[in-house]
Structure 1
């Protein structure tokens, strides 16, 4: 891949901070490319432009690339670097071409999301809304919170995960300890999706908190 930016004199003896990168002399550009490639799928195409002026870049004997403070890994962002134990902040423009999901037909509010009403599309992720969904499997059977137009990219704030436990329903609760398991029955106080906390009222009136499971029961892990 043709590099857009080469840093004269900046040769990095990279620590074993990035998986898959050996301790070898590499340019800052290639170190950044390797770092961001690991944030994406193999089929994604990642291009990086360094916005920080070259005269502001220091010569490093040892460099660590720290994760960006933001969860977003594309568009304009600032990446913390530790250069010889001193922290610098590098401004970047990261462009990513990859797959995301759109509605393949109008989806009404409260509809269930499944393979029949969505389809994959490829494009520049930095041009899309925040929270765009890339792994539709994680959102199978989620429920739309609003009407979604055909062709519209689907983002996380448009959906809620399907409830596996509903408020007011009786729920089986398992308390798991070392070498034993106790079974209770309680009534759910709130709705909960898989792996979310659910509060339950026991027959004694006691209220406990457990973790909702995919199969519709709740589990408490007892401390040993």
Structure 2
């Protein structure tokens, strides 16, 4: 017989021997009630993993290519109390791709926090050089080819869109087979200083054009000053083909 029952018998005998008559009725009921008491509910690890996956899927919206997300396992020995309000977030300084960590907080009915490891792959085509390219070179389609891989394992800012590269000027040397980065691209010069340019101005019902000489360099879309044939200095917006749009 367990020690607690022996102590109970001793007290009952000392206080009132007649109560021992009731023991066969009391003890089975007490033991049955203790055995039927529900254990404290524990948090399902799979629910935490699903919260992490859903959170990272939201963070991955807009990324190019195919996104593959896997969540690390959660040690079942943690025996966390069941939670009805899981709040995943990224710790400060953490990226939502590659090998990452998600912080999961329980806000109700208990309070606890765990960190779950996860991996986010972004598989897409990106651009690499087909030959050694020099700084200042204007990129055309023959200079590049596409390659498929996990962007999270490459330097940030990898170019995946051909339209972002063709016609742009290379800001540095690019060895053969190297990925093209956005920070290496420069807008092509549309107007060169002392170049003869075409001044164009248009409005409702009219269009005027004249020649002038550019006083500064400018890439497409940048402001530029031009001296007209009459000697007047005007400002406009540089466009490809040595054209300057002037608005009066």
Tell me the TM-score normalised to structure 2 length.
Answer: 0.54
Indicate conservation of the 8 Å contact 1:186/1:200, yes or no: no
The reply on whether 1:206 has 2:229 as its aligned counterpart is no
User: How many angstroms apart in 2 are the aligned matches of 1:31 and 1:159?
Assistant: 33
- Among 201, 212, 219, the alignment partner of 1:186 is 212
- Among 57, 74, 85, the alignment partner of 1:33 is 57
Tell me the TM-score normalised to structure 1 length.
Answer: 0.59
The reply on whether 1:159 has 2:182 as its aligned counterpart is no
Structure 1 match to 2:245: 219
Rate the CA distance shift 1:104–1:200 in 2: closer, same or farther, 3 A: same
User: How many angstroms apart in 2 are the aligned matches of 1:5 and 1:182?
Assistant: 70
Indicate conservation of the 8 Å contact 2:215/2:227, yes or no: no
Structure 2 match to 1:137: 163
Q: Could you tell me how far 1:49 is from its partner in structure 2? A: 6.1
- Structure 2: stretches of 5+ with no match in the other structure: 1-44, 73-79, 87-94, 101-115
- Structure 1: stretches of 5+ with no match in the other structure: 9-25, 61-71, 78-90
User: How many angstroms apart in 2 are the aligned matches of 1:197 and 1:166?
Assistant: 12
Rate the CA distance shift 1:74–1:220 in 2: closer, same or farther, 3 A: farther
Rate the CA distance shift 1:197–1:28 in 2: closer, same or farther, 3 A: same
The reply on whether 1:174 has 2:200 as its aligned counterpart is yes
Rate the CA distance shift 1:59–1:182 in 2: closer, same or farther, 3 A: farther
User: How many angstroms apart in 2 are the aligned matches of 1:5 and 1:168?
Assistant: 69
Query: Which structure has the highest helix share of the two?
Result: 2
User: How many angstroms apart in 1 are the aligned matches of 2:211 and 2:140?
Assistant: 32
Query: Which structure has the highest strand share of the two?
Result: 1
Q: Could you tell me how far 1:28 is from its partner in structure 2? A: 7.5
The reply on whether 1:111 has 2:134 as its aligned counterpart is no
Rate the CA distance shift 1:33–1:184 in 2: closer, same or farther, 3 A: same
Q: How many residues align?
A: 177
Indicate conservation of the 8 Å contact 2:52/2:71, yes or no: no
Three-state SS of the structure 2 residue aligned to 1:152 is: coil
